[in-house]
Amino acid sequence: MQNFTFQNPTRILFGEGRIADIAAEIPAGARVLITYGGGSVVRTGTLDEVKAALKNFTVFEFAGIEPNPTYETLMEAVALARREKVDFLLAVGGGSVIDGTKFIAAAIPFAGDPWDMLAKRAAVTRAIAFGSVLTLPATGSEMNNGAVITRRASSDKLAFLNDLLFPRFSVLDPSKTFTLPPRQVANGVVDAFVHIAEQYLTYPADAKVQDRFAEGLLLTLIEEGPRALREPENYAVRANLMWTATLALNGLIGAGVPQDWATHMLGHELTVLHGLDHAQTLAVVLPAMLQVQRAEKRDKLLQYAERVWGLREGDAEARIDQAIVRTRLFFESLQVPTRLSDYGIGVEAIAPLVAQLKRHGMVALGEHRSVDLARAQQVYELAA
């Protein structure tokens, strides 16, 4: 096992009815800015519930944080927050709203152009405190310190991490996910699945707990993902999915093990240039990435084949082939297509995608830094 430092300060309020408990988590007298997306939280009544819980606070609202939240939109919220001297943020929504709120939290006290936090890795030394009410299990943003922000004007989708960006608290009420459209349920399952893959399908580090934890999370997604689509109002299923997605990217399974993240980086360029949902990009890239990297990932792919897919027969190469096929079929069973052509993207799109990776310095990705531009191109070609 590799050395690691692990601390996760986010307090989780899990279960039905927990929105009522948020007032106790926010400093008395705080001026709170509620941030949300395109209106699902208005339609579902979640926003009203949040406002009722905050009746003793001064509350402002910022609506319209879009999927793949943009710098352009978020800077409007920063202006509002500065103007109103907001000192607490509450994100109500999915990963995009939470990520966007992390950006707002860091941008409010930032001197200079906050985009530098992403583009130039400018130091984040202060951030406004914030919490979240999660409505879409997928990204893990509710219990991690990362955010991914898009700048429309420059076709960039970049991530940043900072320990000041852990939410103070997150409400995980599974019943708030009953209203998710099937596409978003499926996206959430695929995103969580690939987060686990990025931290598990690398090379052995003799990290038994992390491995078995990762396998347990994958098996839960395989069992409960399809059930959530069939039985949208099954609370137990939603509860298991919600906690799985959080644990998939809250630092626990990634502590002390090598990590990959190449699939995510290739995926981000697909979202920027072609507008695919985040999870759709991952469903396209991961099977091709595993194929291209199969030699380096051999030992873990064999372990994955056996422990996750029950593949014990036949020679090793055939088991790896089967494990990759099963992964693809699982995504497709959730109605998430796994080929670029399924999204109307042809091979002529590959050179611009590779050029974006180059422009973003994504030239040595993966747990061995071996995914250079030539290999990335191979992955996109295999995904065609």
Where do contacts with ligand NZQ occur on this chain (CB under 6 A)? 37-41, 44, 67-68, 93-97, 99, 135-136, 138-141, 144, 146-148, 176-177, 179-180, 184, 187, 191, 249, 264, 278
> Least separation, in Å, of the C-beta of 179 and ligand NZQ?
4
Q: Which is nearer to ligand NZQ, 25 or 99 (CB)?
A: 99
Q: Which is nearer to ligand NZQ, 157 or 319 (CB)?
A: 157
> Least separation, in Å, of the C-beta of 261 and Zn ion?
9
Sites of contact with Zn ion (CB under 5 A): 191
CA distance 374 to 280: 23
Q: Which does 95 bind (CB under 5 to 8 A by kind): Zn ion, ligand NZQ, none?
A: ligand NZQ
Helices assigned H by DSSP within the chain? 40-43, 46-53, 71-83, 95-107, 116-119, 182-200, 208-230, 235-248, 262-274, 278-292, 298-307, 316-333, 350-359, 373-382
Q: Which does 131 bind (CB under 5 to 8 A by kind): Zn ion, ligand NZQ, none?
A: none
Question: DSSP label at 16?
Answer: T
> Least separation, in Å, of the C-beta of 162 and ligand NZQ?
12
Which residue type is seen at 77?
A: A
Q: Which is nearer to ligand NZQ, 97 or 365 (CB)?
A: 97
Contact status, residue 19 vs residue 48, Cβ threshold 8 Å: no
Question: DSSP label at 10?
Answer: P
> Least separation, in Å, of the C-beta of 73 and ligand NZQ?
11
> Least separation, in Å, of the C-beta of 332 and ligand NZQ?
19
Q: Which does 41 bind (CB under 5 to 8 A by kind): Zn ion, ligand NZQ, none?
A: ligand NZQ
Q: Which does 138 bind (CB under 5 to 8 A by kind): Zn ion, ligand NZQ, none?
A: ligand NZQ
| Percent of residues in the chain assigned helix, strand, coil, to nearest 5 | 55, 10, 35
> Least separation, in Å, of the C-beta of 103 and ligand NZQ?
10
> Least separation, in Å, of the C-beta of 218 and Zn ion?
15
Q: Which does 254 bind (CB under 5 to 8 A by kind): ligand NZQ, Zn ion, none?
A: none
CA distance 143 to 49: 22
Nearest residue to 253 via CA among 213, 284, 291, 285? 213
Q: Which is nearer to Zn ion, 49 or 277 (CB)?
A: 277
Q: Provide the 10 A C-beta neighbour count for residue 233.
A: 11
Nearest residue to 135 via CA among 58, 265, 37, 259? 37
> Least separation, in Å, of the C-beta of 149 and ligand NZQ?
8
Q: Which does 114 bind (CB under 5 to 8 A by kind): Zn ion, ligand NZQ, none?
A: none
Q: Which is nearer to Zn ion, 53 or 189 (CB)?
A: 189
CA distances from 358 to 102, 155, 350, 379 (A): 27, 13, 13, 15
Q: Which does 37 bind (CB under 5 to 8 A by kind): Zn ion, ligand NZQ, none?
A: ligand NZQ
Q: Which does 135 bind (CB under 5 to 8 A by kind): ligand NZQ, Zn ion, none?
A: ligand NZQ
Nearest residue to 339 via CA among 276, 295, 248? 276
Q: Which is nearer to Zn ion, 191 or 211 (CB)?
A: 191
CA distance 124 to 254: 23
**363 Cβ partners below 8 Å, 6+ apart?**
357, 372, 373
